[in-house]
């Protein structure tokens, strides 16, 4: 068995840039899709900024990324769902860094972050930074 290392992936805006992901009010926003190559252990780090932050964060997964072409990134997609038995991974109401340990992910090839603004969530709220970290063998 080889050594283990941490792989860190930036959670990107749906257009593939590192710009903030806006969650302006009680709306739903999605990150760009990412591959889930190594799932032996995974966690997520998130930092939101804005006024009156009140969001729920989910990880949606899919076995097939074919339907989510570039033009559909950032939109609801029927082949991306929260795995059965899972709920939100976090409810965040402040601008602190939040580390969500031990994500309960299904063994699927693709994922993305779904962020749902709750009542009172400010019009200026954004995901300022987000990372998915996974353990992998090197």
Is the full-model pTM beyond 0.75? yes
- Per domain, the residue ranges of the chain are 4-137
Q: 4-137 maps to which CATH number?
A: 2.60.120
Query: What's the pLDDT score for residue 38?
Result: 63
**Coil, strand or helix: which one is 87?**
coil
Across 12-21, 32-41, 48-57, which has the greatest mean pLDDT?
48-57
115 with 13: CB under 8 angstroms?
A: no
pLDDT > 80? residue 90: yes
Q: Contacts by 75-83 with C-beta closer than 8 Å and gap 24+?
A: 75/14, 75/30, 76/28, 76/30, 80/33, 80/110, 80/112, 82/58, 82/114, 83/108
pLDDT > 60? residue 121: yes
């Amino acid at each position: 068995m080889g050594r283990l290392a941490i792989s860190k992936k930036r959670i990107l805006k749906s257009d593939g840039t590192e710009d903030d992901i806006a969650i302006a009010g009680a709306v739903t926003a999605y990150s760009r899709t990412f591959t889930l190559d190594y799932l032996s252990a995974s966690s997520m780090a998130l930092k939101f900024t804005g006024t009156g932050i009140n969001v729920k964060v989910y990880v949606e997964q899919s076995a097939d990324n074919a339907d989510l072409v570039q033009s559909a990134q950032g939109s609801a997609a029927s082949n991306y769902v929260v795995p059965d038995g899972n709920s939100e991974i976090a409810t965040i109401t402040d601008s602190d860094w939040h580390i969500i340990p031990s994500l309960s992910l299904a063994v699927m090839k693709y994922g993305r972050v779904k962020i749902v603004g709750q009542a009172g969530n400010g019009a200026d709220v954004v995901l300022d930074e987000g990372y998915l970290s996974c353990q992998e063998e090197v």
